[in-house]
Structure 1
Amino acid sequence: MSTEIEQQRMKSQKFVRKAQRTDSQRSCKYSNHDFCDQSMIKLKLSKHQSLFTSNLDEEHKQNEQDLLHIKKKESQQNISQIPQVIEEKEFECGCKPSVIPFEKNDSWQILLVGKLNDPEVFPVFSQVIKQFKDKQCTFYVENHSLQKFKDQLIKDQLSEFVDALTEFNSQNHESIIDIIVTLGGDGTILYTMSHFQNRYSPPIIAIEKGTLGFMCMYNIQNIEKDIQKILQNVKVNRNLMVERKMRIHVKILDDKGNIAKQNGVEKSYHALNEIVIDRGPNASCLKMEIFLNNEPLTKTLGDGLIFSTPTGSTAYSLSAGGPIIQNEVRSISLVPICPFSLSFRPIVLPECSELKVKLTEDNRGQGKVSGDGQKIFDLLPGEIVHIESSDLDVYVVRETFKANNVHEWMVKLKKMLNWNSNFSK
């Protein structure tokens, strides 16, 4: 009886809070967080119900059997879609590294993405291809760089790999890519992630060769040795150590609650850095209403709003006065862009938050919604911008021989932002 009352009470709630991913849930075997939360609810209900029964032991055993049956069924459905995330021993700083299995022995599907205006891109990628000579690899490159890659391989006397180059098409190849190698800065990674909107990212070997490289783990000078270390680790341990980065998902809903479309494409995007709502070319400020977990948060007048991940906290959000957030602190920051009221300050919210924004009835014109600067949608009157954490994380391969995660982050932060440089001279 108590179970039915509890279930009715849960259904009657106006807002069902999206479960925050705890450390144990982030490391659960199949990363199936919904299943974890449902299991917790079932266990709580069974314990509550047991107070009214005298057969506690038998009921507890039955609940365990039911949960094992559900878990087995759910895992069979999800194991082919979501990577196992294995937690190994902690870093010296206390953070837990994420390790994903990589047990492919046959052919590897590798995507190469680089800055075409950089003359070093093609020679470096030519050497990268050479490092995988012992594997049966297919290398995917975008159409506009395919011929240049082939010419470079011939120039470097690696013509045997020319036939292994294939034109990349995100619609056909998104689901089969095993590893991504990027050469550039953070912008190159953001551009690459725009092609992976329907799945978690394949492990990214990010080589630094750009203006900013907060996310890049490898330096162009040592890339041959580093790739050999990666391949050796895969050979010995059958896994890859990665830095796990959250994304946020935006979808624009019409007045009927459906995902709106623009030129036949759904207004939906998974962003690694930030979602930005701004006034675009309009001269007038935007008047917006903001809702947090279906409750009114505030009304604002200004140039726009920035919803940022920890990864994006050092990008546009930082320039607009937002806080710097360490990658392990999974959260969503809300930063106003030139607000009319100076009392509206940046807010940091837990990753389980659900945010909605809509233009007020007296707003002039329309706005723009962009994801990582890669996708831009029109925001029309009556539409609602829905923002929450994404289930499609990004995995950046990290250097396994570095043992202190926070120290590494601090060193990179001080280097990139050039902190207190005038005082140290």
Structure 2
Amino acid sequence: MDNKIIDQKHHPILSAANSSSSTINTDFEGDNYLQFSSSSSESLASKTKYRNTCDIVPSLINHQLNQLKNGTSIINDKYYHDKGKIYDLVSTIRLVDSKLNHITVKAKAKKILIVTKIYDIEPVLDTLKLIRYILRICPKMELYIQDELMKIKEFNLAGIAKDDPSLHVEGRIKFWSSNCCTYNPNTFDLVITLGGDGTILFTSYIFQELIPPVLSFSLGSLGFLTEFDFKDHQEILYNVIYNGYQCSIRTRFECTVMRSRSNRKNKIAQQSSFIDAEKVLRDEISSTCEHHINNNNNNNNGSYHGEKISLTTVPELSDELLTERTIDETHFNVLSYSVFNDIVIDRGPNSTMTSLDLFSDNELLTNIEADGLVIATPSGSTAYSLSAGGSLVHPDIPGILISPICPHSLSFRPLVVPESMILRVGVPYDARSPAWCSFDGKNRIELEPGDFLTITTSRFPIAFVKNMSVKNEWFKRLSDTLHWNERKRQKPFNNLGPKEI
């Protein structure tokens, strides 16, 4: 590929991004192509093929970033001796990124998946209203619902078919499974959620990679992530299906748990169900560092097994992660998750602090002594990260939030780092106790000494249908749900002059 600047005027994607009236017409049939159309460019008639709707963001950005794969060779190219060319390229990339949240998507949706908060009767009944309306305005639409709804007696799906046989309910209502969402996400053109923030997190969980655009109705407790009020569902659905919609692109993380191979080889004892009080007391009064390490080189309940080790045989996690040895030689992959809100690493049931090592891009940043660590997306900045003292970050800002939980340090403040960083959080081999980790509040797993997490920005973000009737929606939700910066107004000074005082 030649190293050169792409002319925005003659480039279909970039010229669409520059146009204020740009539209993406999405055809879900055949080859699943995206057609960019704009009143300001004739060249947009060309069809640009992509695999699916969820590739909109990566495809647009990667098309331009492919010019920067070999940064050194590009900068040394004679074409780039004009520094203004480089700045123009950076500005173009930023422009494309900013325009993504303002592009209207017109999708010929034929299959819609509905995720309902089934443990609350209100969303269940509203699901019936939603089904009835969509079947009426879209004669060929297929709807996929949870099979658990059929076990709820108030969910009278047969009543809809009885009231209006022309809707053909039986042939158009189907059931979805988590496996279908994970392995065949292209089956669905749109996802509708009826619930609260927990329903959004559940939807993110069942779509671990690609996820269709999400239209969320607020029927939960807090509703910070949900966009629309269900009382307006008919108008909203009609506009989304027939007039198109704009999306807000939200970042997700990809988190991988890596287990230590050496830790497995040296682990002889298995966990028991009791605490040896005498052993714990002996650990507390031990006077030598070597004896202290040997007493803590056991399982997490404090019982002692195996031979003593010397100080020189305790491996260092940083030595394994920062050397030329491959990770596969020292660790093996246990599991991976896509995370929408946050990853929480804490001390779990242990009574002592958690010891953690934080790495970034193959460099040790710091050692952490705290109750835990919250690593959040910008969307998750209003969740656990907020409670831990983290910053409020607008979801359009790309970044990774690092917030300690009760750190035993006066200087460890929350951080916001670039989303391009590759973070690793590990439990050092000489840690007194293991740590525990959860992903969006689910799938809690133990991290033993030597284990670590790798956290990167996922290639599969979530596209939320935006509420265009409300400007600055994020700030409005801050005020409505968290009562952000609410305070009684300070009284003005009176008009008394010096003579009246």
Q: Taking every aligned residue pair, what percent have the same amino acid on both sides? A: 28
Conservation of the 8 A alpha-carbon contact between 1:115 and 1:184: yes
Conservation of the 8 A alpha-carbon contact between 1:27 and 1:87: no
Residues 149 and 215 (structure 1), Cα distance of their counterparts in 2 relative to 1, 3 Å cut: farther
Q: Distance in 1 between matches of 2:436 and 2:357?
A: 15
Query: What is the deviation of 1:100?
Result: 6.3
Residues 332 and 122 (structure 1), Cα distance of their counterparts in 2 relative to 1, 3 Å cut: same
With normalisation by structure 1, the TM-score equals 0.74
Conservation of the 8 A alpha-carbon contact between 1:260 and 1:267: no
Per the alignment, residue 131 of structure 2 pairs with 129
Q: Distance in 2 between matches of 1:260 and 1:161?
A: 49
Matched, 1:250 2:278: no
Alignment of 1:150-165 (within 5 A): 151-156=155-160, 157=163, 160-165=168-173
Query: What is the deviation of 1:120?
Result: 1.6
Per the alignment, residue 118 of structure 2 pairs with 116
Matched, 1:226 2:294: no
Q: Which has the larger radius of gyration?
A: 2
One-letter code aligned to 2:392:
I
Per the alignment, residue 145 of structure 2 pairs with 141
Matched, 1:375 2:453: no
Q: 2:213 aligns with which of 203, 208, 227?
A: 203
Matched, 1:413 2:478: yes
Q: Which moved more, 1:140-149 or 1:305-314?
A: 140-149
1:223-263 residue CA offsets vs partner (Å, 9 max, x unmatched)? 122112212313xxxxx3111100111111234635746xx
Partner SS for 1:275 = strand
Per the alignment, residue 180 of structure 2 pairs with 172
One-letter code aligned to 1:328:
D
Conservation of the 8 A alpha-carbon contact between 2:57 and 2:100: no
Query: What is the deviation of 1:205?
Result: 0.9
1:279-331 residue CA offsets vs partner (Å, 9 max, x unmatched)? 11222211111112211111111111000111000000001111000111111
Q: Distance in 2 between matches of 1:132 and 1:398?
A: 20
What residue ranges of structure 1 are gaps of 5+ in the alignment? 4-22, 52-85, 235-239
Alignment of 1:392-403 (within 5 A): 392-402=460-470
Query: What is the deviation of 1:193?
Result: 0.9
Residues 222 and 149 (structure 1), Cα distance of their counterparts in 2 relative to 1, 3 Å cut: farther
Partner SS for 2:156 = helix
Residues 324 and 286 (structure 1), Cα distance of their counterparts in 2 relative to 1, 3 Å cut: same
Q: Distance in 2 between matches of 1:113 and 1:397?
A: 15
One-letter code aligned to 1:141:
I
Q: Distance in 2 between matches of 1:97 and 1:324?
A: 20
Residues 362 and 38 (structure 1), Cα distance of their counterparts in 2 relative to 1, 3 Å cut: same
Residues 144 and 28 (structure 1), Cα distance of their counterparts in 2 relative to 1, 3 Å cut: closer
Partner SS for 1:363 = coil
Residues 329 and 278 (structure 1), Cα distance of their counterparts in 2 relative to 1, 3 Å cut: same
1:315-361 residue CA offsets vs partner (Å, 9 max, x unmatched)? 00001111000111111010001111121110010111111111122
Alignment of 1:334-373 (within 5 A): 334-373=402-441
Query: What is the deviation of 1:44?
Result: 5.9
Q: Distance in 1 between matches of 2:465 and 2:129?
A: 19
Q: Distance in 1 between matches of 2:58 and 2:153?
A: 38
Query: What is the deviation of 1:162?
Result: 3.6
Partner SS for 2:59 = coil
Partner SS for 2:413 = coil
Residues 391 and 27 (structure 1), Cα distance of their counterparts in 2 relative to 1, 3 Å cut: closer
Q: What root-mean-square deviation, in Å, do the aligned CA atoms of Structure 1 and Structure 2 show?
A: 3.1
One-letter code aligned to 2:125:
P
Conservation of the 8 A alpha-carbon contact between 2:255 and 2:336: yes
What residue ranges of structure 2 are gaps of 5+ in the alignment? 4-16, 19-53, 80-94, 262-326, 491-501
Matched, 1:48 2:59: no
Residues 303 and 36 (structure 1), Cα distance of their counterparts in 2 relative to 1, 3 Å cut: same
Per the alignment, residue 86 of structure 2 pairs with none
One-letter code aligned to 2:481:
M
Alignment of 1:174-189 (within 5 A): 174=182, 175=185, 176-189=187-200
Query: What is the deviation of 1:186?
Result: 0.9
With normalisation by structure 2, the TM-score equals 0.63
One-letter code aligned to 1:285:
M
Conservation of the 8 A alpha-carbon contact between 1:250 and 1:268: yes
Residues 96 and 178 (structure 1), Cα distance of their counterparts in 2 relative to 1, 3 Å cut: closer
Q: 2:344 aligns with which of 268, 276, 288?
A: 276
Task: Give aligned pairs, total.
Answer: 349
Per the alignment, residue 201 of structure 2 pairs with 190
Query: What is the deviation of 1:32?
Result: 6.0
Matched, 1:216 2:251: no
Conservation of the 8 A alpha-carbon contact between 2:115 and 2:203: yes
Q: Distance in 1 between matches of 2:382 and 2:444?
A: 21
Residues 28 and 392 (structure 1), Cα distance of their counterparts in 2 relative to 1, 3 Å cut: closer
Q: Distance in 2 between matches of 1:28 and 1:183?
A: 25
Q: Distance in 2 between matches of 1:173 and 1:28?
A: 19
Higher relative contact order (CA 8 A, sep 6+): 1
Q: Distance in 2 between matches of 1:145 and 1:28?
A: 33
Conservation of the 8 A alpha-carbon contact between 1:251 and 1:268: yes
Conservation of the 8 A alpha-carbon contact between 2:61 and 2:96: no
Query: What is the deviation of 1:49?
Result: 4.9
Q: 1:241 aligns with which of 235, 243, 246?
A: 246
Residues 302 and 158 (structure 1), Cα distance of their counterparts in 2 relative to 1, 3 Å cut: farther
